[in-house]
Chains A and B, each alone.
Chain A
Amino acid sequence: MFHFIDRRQNPKDKSLGNRQRFMRRARARIKEVVEKSIKERKLSDIANGEEISIPTKGIDEPRFRHASSGGRRERVFNGNKEFRPGDQIEKPEGGGQGKGGKKGSDSGEGEDEFRFALTREEFLDLFFEDLELPDLVKTNLREVITYKMRRTGHTATGTPTNLNVLRTMCKSLGRRLALKRPKQTEITGLEDEIAALDSKANPSAEELSRLETLRESLKDMLRRKRWVPYIDPVDIRYNNYAPKPEPNTKAVMLCLMDVSGSMGEREKELAKRFFILLHLFLNRRYKQIDVVFIRHTHEAQEVDEDTFFYSQETGGTVVSTALVEMLKVIRDRYPTSEWNIYGAQASDGENHAGDTDKCITMLAQEVMPLCQYYAYVEILDERETEIFRNMQNGAALWQAYRTVAEAWPNFAMKRIAKPGDIYPVFRELFAKQSDKVAVRP
């Protein structure tokens, strides 16, 4: 007696619950590591490299075990080559007993670090938990709504193409049963019987009266059949469609950056972190995200990511050129009916004198109406942080942008000076909607 059972269709992830329990348990430590990795790791790693290693403290499972050294130990090994009884062998490094190759711990229990891979979901959840972004975003960020036709039940009116045959036939059947419409088989049965009686040469009186009743009932049936049609207009049902609002799942993120000589490696690196964080966040929200990189000096151009971050340009600084380029890209490729548009601008705050006014006009009149959100970060020299702690101080561009920020709630601006700043800044950018008024003087 034996059986084979095919379990392959059974649900996998049986241990998912245990995995979640573990994550809960180790949450504090995992979070520390995740936060550290945001601050310190190469940014390109953030989105994909989620392998982390956490200290075993708090997640170790203590057992009574023999210490790995000390005392007198006898061990048998195989593969002796030249040893004779009484030979002395150097003790291997690290004081482990026995011979080389012996592992320090047999089950990994003794390890100080526990390495494992977080799924992308888990990683981002942890990362954004602190920022509380997903919820904030749902309530605070506007969204372009598109409508899509969805099936919603049935109607009695409609176009023939939407005819629902099954539903119609059900209705028809019910009505025919209720109104007792004679079936075709019953009618032909009667007719046959009549014909049979008719063809008899000399029918008896009994048969004649029977013939009479049959004829009566046939007449009745035919009348009934006429009255109760097979399909009546009241039976007919159409599939109904109604427009349903659908959140738009496409977003485009436009990164604008000043790449003139005043923006050094450090500034670009900071800007990059900011952009990546924004991208990570948008990733949570939207199914499809396009990223457009626009760099500018005294003229702006759309470039690929590498050029954007790593190529050197010289020239003046005219911010408005980037805005022009941005508008052009939006007009050409990203109609607002289909795309959620996010703008992110990084700069060191310098601008060509006289251009600033143009920027404000453009932002207020053309750019902001198109954008879901526009974030501006000004990257400061660390020495400047003291001076510019107050929101009111600042270079021309900062001063000018403040007027835009006051007019548009979905315009945000912040200053950052070191990598550690980005994380809180990012949080403020998205969390500030409610207390924005309070911050402003």
Chain B
Amino acid sequence: MTRKSKKTKVEPLFEGSEWTFEKLRQAYAAIEDVALNDLGLEVYTNQIEIISSEQMLDAYSSIGMPLMYPHWSFGKHFLREENMYRKGFTGLAYEIVINSNPCISYNMEENTMALQALVMAHAAFGHNHFFRNNYLFRQWTDADGILEYLQFAKSYIAKCEERCGPAAVEEILDAAHALMDHGVFRYSRPTRLSKRDQAEREQERIRYEERNFQDIWRTVPTNGKGDAAEEEKTEEETESARRLKLPEENLLYFLEKNSPVLETWQREILRIVRNIAQYFYPQKQTKVMNEGCATFVHYYIMNRLYDDGLLTDGAMLEILHSHSNVVFQPGFDDKRYSGINPYALGLAMMEDIKRICTEPTEEDRTWFPEIAGNDDWRGTLRDAWANYRDESFIQQYLSPHLIRKLKLFLCVDEAEKQHVMVDSIHDERGYKLVRTALARNYDLALIEPDVQVVAVDMGGDRCLHLQHQVHDGIHLSEKGRDGVIAQVRRLWGYDVVLTGVDKGTGEKLYETSTAKPAAA
């Protein structure tokens, strides 16, 4: 804070829209002051990188990561983003932030100074705090290791391409990407990533193979698929088929460990894709909270700075304009409606928690006895940010007050009925039902299809059996389904059967197999 002597008036941090590194530094310092000393945030060291809009498009296409192995699908996403952007359908994000230590955020050079300040508060403090403190990120991702790991992944895949040709690598990556959503552990914590460990593990694999290499096996006739060493291995596994720990929900993991046909480098590629999927898994589960946290933080900090006279009216107006664009939430019957805006919902819930802590009503005291009127909204929010994900956060903190304010209502759509039924609305009877239903709308376990490996016929035709647990009669879209099991077959090397089983009754609903087209 720059304070001129004798004058009580505080100089604003900046004027005009042009930014300079000096202004950025000053604004950062002021934002940091509020973030750390007022809000009590705890963040990784920030590394703020200024990039051009072309570079932003580049960053988009490689899922926002600064380093990524090459793959055609990233090129496809790039083309789509570029097309949308050039045509003006979408603007570019003002920033991208990466869950790493140091926490890297990209700011666009086209942003005005006011926007840069907003973006810094949003990403470098809001998201950064969330990444560092939320339990999902703490337990499931390794912010220290991710950049190093991506570097390893990139160079490893480049090496594979050199050795085996890009086409072979692309084939494996295509297959692995198809299973990316099913390449995460949901319940057990994954091991930490480390480049050195990776290299060691690979060495270990090679050593093992060398040790166990027996030239005589080469002479044993095989049916073309799978070489002798693997035959030997699968034979061992026949015994231990029961010990495959089935059912297994992490399909990529299962294939990496157990596929009879994959080579070492192919297994390692599956592992890389799986690790990246695992790294992003917490982000998928915390969209509302993550964005809500960042938005709440930037909104609070910007208002504080304005109240302290550090922002000019013009800058504040611009910031508010961008802010309200971000949290814009059209009603369900609006043409612009495309679901509930996670920024809006997250911010509204966090503002509401603040209200409950400071000015609770009687209703709040009944619903939230632990926090109502505790006057420590900062601590309460920090606790929420640290210990919940979207689903549990909504289940815990969505208040009747907010349900009324947003006029939330629950619809039930059953395929066989002619009409959609309004099940509950924002009234006494509906609060809990609406809240639970909304929480379930954010439950990844329900959003993503539940497909698991249930059996392997190791003794016979080595057919791999997958099972899809059908919830509420919602099937898989057929195009994607057949595409994916074809990819699974590629990785497994033998036929794959997918069975749909109703979750409630256990009744078999459908069965599809890769064997059929071959027979026909």
Contacts of A286 in B (CB 8 A): none
For residue A3, CB closer than 8 A to chain B, the reply is yes
Q: Which residues of A contact B102 (CB under 8 A)?
A: 3
Cβ-defined contact, B423 with A85, below 8 A: yes
Contact residues of A between 41 and 80, Cβ < 8 Å to B: 51, 59-80
- CB distance A4 to B50 under 8 Å? yes
Q: With A15-B62, A72-B473 in contact, is A97–B413 under 8 Å at CB?
A: yes
Alpha-carbon distance A67/B427, docked complex (angstroms): 32
Contact A114–B426 (Cβ < 8 Å): no
Instruction: Let me know if A12 and B55 touch, CB within 8 A.
Output: yes
CB atoms of A1 and B45 under 8 A apart: yes
Are A91 and B422 closer than 8 Å at their CB atoms?
no
The reply to whether B21 and A101 contact each other, CB–CB distance below 8 Å, is: no
User: Is the pair A116, B411 in contact by a Cβ cutoff of 8 Å?
Assistant: no
Instruction: Report chain B residues within 8 Å CB of A83.
Output: 409, 422, 425
Interface string of B161-192 (1 = CB under 8 A from A): 00000100010001001101110000000000
Known A22-B79, A61-B73, A76-B441: A14·B475 in contact at CB below 8 Å: no
* Main DSSP-derived SS at the A contact region: loop
Q: Which residue of A lies closest to B473 (CB)?
A: A71
Question: A99–B72 contact, CB under 8 A?
Answer: no
Residue of B79, B406, B409 touching A116 (CB-CB under 8 A): B79
Interface centre among B177, B411, B438, by most chain A C-beta atoms within 10 angstroms, is B411
- Which one of A63, A86, A117 contacts B480 once the chains associate, using CB atoms below 8 Å? A63
Among A102-110, A210-218, A298-306, A420-428, the stretch in contact with B: A102-110
Complex interface: stretch among B80-88, B145-153, B252-260:
B80-88
Complex CA distance for A24 and B71, rounded to whole angstroms: 11
Answer yes or no: A5 CB below 8 A from chain B CBs.
yes
Q: How far is the CA of A253 from the CA of B149 in the complex (A)?
A: 57
Give Cα A108 to B81, complex, Å.
11
B329 touches A78 (CB 8 A): yes
B220 lies within 8 A of chain A by Cβ: no
Q: Does A8 contact B (CB under 8 A)?
A: yes
Q: Is the CB of A99 within 8 A of B83?
A: no
CB distance from A134 to the nearest CB of B (A): 24
CA distance A89 to B73 in the complex (A): 40
Given A71-B472, A71-B475, decide whether A18 and B70 contact each other with a Cβ distance below 8 A: yes
CB of B99 within 8 Å of the partner chain = no
Looking at A13, A14, A25, which has the most chain B CB atoms within 10 Å of its CB? A14
Separation of A337 and B259 alpha carbons in the complex (Å): 69
Contact A6 B411 (CB under 8 A): no
What 0/1 pattern do residues 39 to 58 of B give for CB contact below 8 A with A? Answer: 00000011111111011011
Q: In the bound complex, do residue B55 and residue A22 qualify as a contact, i.e. CB atoms below 8 Å apart? A: no
| With A8-B55, A71-B475, A76-B434 as contacts: A98 and B420 at CB distance below 8 Å | yes
Q: Decide: A117 and B82 in contact? CB cutoff 8 A.
A: yes
Which A residues lie within 8 Å of B441 (CB)?
74-76
**Bound: A313/B227 CA distance, A:** 78
Cβ of B134 within 8 Å of any chain A Cβ, yes or no, is no
In the complex the two chains form, what is the Cα distance from A139 to B427 in whole Å?
82
Query: Known contacts A61-B177, A74-B411, A91-B420: does B62 contact A18 (CB below 8 Å)?
Result: yes
Interface centre among B58, B178, B440, B451 (most CB of A within 10 A): B58
Give the docked Cα–Cα distance between A331 and B482 (Å): 68
Query: Could you tell me if A85 and B424 are in contact, using CB atoms closer than 8 angstroms?
Result: yes
* B328 partner residues in chain A, CB cutoff 8 A: none
Q: Do A65 and B62 contact each other (CB < 8 Å), given the known contacts A14-B55, A77-B409, A85-B425? A: no
Residues of A within 8 A of B6 (CB): none
Contact A4 B25 (CB under 8 A): yes
Q: Nearest chain-B residue to A108 (Cβ)?
A: B80
Taking CB atoms, residues of chain B closer than 8 Å to A103 are 338
The answer to whether A71 and B422 touch across the interface, beta carbons within 8 angstroms, is no
Instruction: Decide if B437 is an interface residue (CB 8 Å cutoff).
Output: yes
A75 to chain B, nearest CB (A): 5
**Is the CB–CB distance between B451 and A88 below 8 Å?**
no
Which of A1, A2, A100: most chain B Cβ within 10 A? A2
Chain A residues positioned under 8 Å from B332 (CB to CB): 77-80, 99-101
Residues of chain A within 8 A (CB-CB) of B473 are 70-72
A78–B408 Cα distance when bound, in Å, is 4
Q: Is there an interface contact between A72 and B480, defined as CB atoms closer than 8 Å?
A: no
Q: Does A19 contact B (CB under 8 A)?
A: yes
Check if B333 sits within 8 Å of A100, measured CB to CB. yes
Expressed in whole angstroms, the Cα–Cα distance for A74 and B409 within the complex equals 10
Min C-beta distance of B266 to chain A, whole Å? 19
Contact B407 A7 (CB under 8 A): no
A64 touching B419 by the CB < 8 A rule? no
Q: Which of B57, B76, B181, B475 contacts A67 (CB 8 A)?
A: B475
| B residues less than 8 Å from A71 (CB atoms) | 414-415, 470-475
A99–B337 alpha-carbon span in the complex (Å): 10
B284 CB within 8 Å of chain A: no
CA distance A63 to B175 in the complex (A): 10
Assess the A76–B71 pair: CB atoms within 8 A. Answer: no
Judge whether A287 is part of the interface by a CB distance below 8 angstroms: no
Contacts known (A62-B483, A72-B413, A85-B430); A18 close to B419, Cβ less than 8 A:
no
Q: How far is the CB of A340 from chain B (nearest CB, A)?
A: 35
A72 to B471: give the CA distance in the assembly, Å.
Answer: 9
Residue of B nearest to A92 (CB): B420
Q: Mark interface residues in B323-348 (1 if CB within 8 Å of A CB, else 0).
A: 00000011111111111100000000
A115 CB within 8 Å of chain B = yes
B50, B470, B477, B481: residue with the most chain A Cβ atoms closer than 10 Å: B477
In the bound assembly, the distance between CA atoms of A66 and B52 in angstroms comes to 37
Query: What B residues does A109 contact at CB under 8 A?
Result: 480
> B422 near A74 (CB under 8 angstroms)?
no
- In the complex, whether A84 has a CB less than 8 A from a CB of chain B is yes
Residues of B contacting A86 in the complex (Cβ-Cβ under 8 angstroms): 421-422
Q: What residues of B have a CB within 8 angstroms of the CB of A7 in the complex?
A: 49-51, 55, 106
Give the most central of A8, A51, A98: most B CB within 10 Å: A8
Residue contact A72 to B414, C-beta cutoff 8 Å = yes
The answer to whether the Cβ of A386 comes within 8 Å of any Cβ in the partner chain is no
The one of A6, A10, A20, A63 in contact with B484, judged by C-beta atoms closer than 8 angstroms, is A63
Decide: B86 and A117 in contact? CB cutoff 8 A.
Answer: yes
Is B28 engaged at the interface, CB distance under 8 Å to the other chain?
yes
Contact of A99 among B333, B421, B477 (CB under 8 A): B333
A180 within 8 A of B: no
- Chain B residues, Cβ within 8 Å of A85: 422-425, 427, 429-430
Whether, in the assembled complex, A170 has its beta carbon less than 8 Å from a beta carbon of chain B, the answer is no
Q: Given contacts A15-B61, A20-B75, A76-B410, are A64 and B181 in contact (CB under 8 A)?
A: yes
CB-CB < 8 A to B438: which residues of A?
A: 76
A77 to B71, CA, bound (A): 38
| Contact flag A18-B78 (CB < 8 Å), given A62-B484, A79-B333, A101-B334 | yes
Pair A67/B340 contact, Cβ less than 8 Å:
no
Q: With a CB–CB cut-off of 8 A, which chain A residues contact B468?
A: 64
A4 contacts across to B, CB distance below 8 A: 21, 24-25, 28, 48-50
Determine if A87 and B422 form an interchain contact, defined as CB atoms under 8 angstroms apart.
yes
Contact in complex: A74, B335 (CB < 8 Å) = no
Looking at the assembled complex, report how far the CB atom of A202 sits from the nearest CB atom of chain B, in whole angstroms.
74
Q: For A81, what are the chain B residues with a Cβ–Cβ distance below 8 Å?
A: 331, 333, 407
List chain B positions with a Cβ less than 8 A from chain A.
21, 24-25, 28, 32, 45-52, 54-55, 57-59, 61-62, 70-76, 78-80, 82-83, 86, 102, 106, 109, 124, 166, 170, 174, 177-178, 180-182, 329-340, 406-415, 418-427, 429-430, 434, 437-438, 440-441, 447-449, 451, 468, 470-484, 486-487
- Chain A contact residues, CB within 8 Å of chain B: 1-8, 10, 12-15, 17-25, 51, 59-81, 83-91, 97-103, 106, 108-110, 114-117
CB-CB nearest 5 A-B residue pairs: A62-B483, A79-B331, A22-B75, A71-B473, A18-B75
Q: Supply 14 A–B pairs (Cβ within 8 Å), ascending by A.
A: A12-B55, A12-B58, A22-B79, A62-B178, A63-B178, A64-B449, A72-B414, A72-B473, A72-B474, A79-B407, A89-B420, A91-B419, A99-B420, A114-B80
Q: A18-B74, A67-B477 are in contact. List 7 more A-B contacts (CB 8 A).
A: A21-B71, A64-B468, A74-B437, A91-B413, A100-B333, A110-B477, A117-B86
